[in-house]
Structure 1
Amino acid sequence: MERQNYKNHKKYYPPHHFIYLPLLILLEILGVYKIFNDQPDQLSWMLFSIVIFLLFYLAFMLRQHYALGLQNRLVRLEFKQRYFEIFGRRSDEVEEKLTFNQIAALRFTYDDEFKELLYRAIHENISGDEIKKSIKNWRADLHRI
């Protein structure tokens, strides 16, 4: 497996991203096409298109909502634990000064860069994306959802 970095840190779930969602998109395109080109069954194709769209929307939103909600809680917990291990004190004050995107980006750093980029995030208010781009040695997160 190649080393994780900014360009390859995103994760895809093939059955969802490359089979189920593309199939729903194709069915939606078929339904819209048939609405305009199949006059006798136009109402049926409208209903078909609405149902396919709702399935697509539901699949996307539920997957995002549950997985990301849980992952966000774990990322915050990991930050608290890591901060305590490095500095020997609670992170409550520091955490209030950071956005979730900054906290999430810091998980890709090793301890030496963590300190430096945490300081920059607090004092220079650099974004999570800027933090990721500033990482010299990525600490891979291979267990994400």
Structure 2
Amino acid sequence: MQLSKTRKDFKMISARNHFHGNVKEIRKGAVNGIVKLETPGGNTVSSTISMEAIEDLKLAEGKKACIFVKATEVMLANENLKISARNQWKGTVKEIQEGAVNAIVKLEIEEGVTITSTISLEAVKDLGLTVGAKAVAIVKSTSVMLGEE
């Protein structure tokens, strides 16, 4: 599984971050389940979704699936944190587009694979983010949407 390098694979979606890969594990609960996908580069992505969605998508170990994450759901840090957010990917800042209040930060987490985060300019400055800096993208598993590939 890996992030799309372009959004051309999907006709109508606003989420900037698209992961493709194979279901590695499914932990089923009474109402929700945790689905883990693995990227070709070895990154694991956890998604907490309803059991109904798991059944509707016919998810099973080894099946190909897509993950979608809005850029506004991607937090950035200077290092891995001991927090409840399951998805943490180390990378290098490749681009920062500054706006009046927010910035779009692109972090390369695998060769040729980036994850995009929309954060405040204040956060960019507080974290000392610059092109070439190391950072960690963090996403709660409840913010990860799944789809069929």
- TM-score bracket for this pair, using the shorter chain length: under 0.3
User: Normalising by the residue count of structure 1, what TM-score does the alignment of the two structures yield?
Assistant: 0.28
Higher helix share: 1
Which has the higher Rg, Structure 1 or Structure 2?
Answer: 1
When the two structures are superposed, what TM-score results if normalisation uses the length of structure 2?
Answer: 0.27
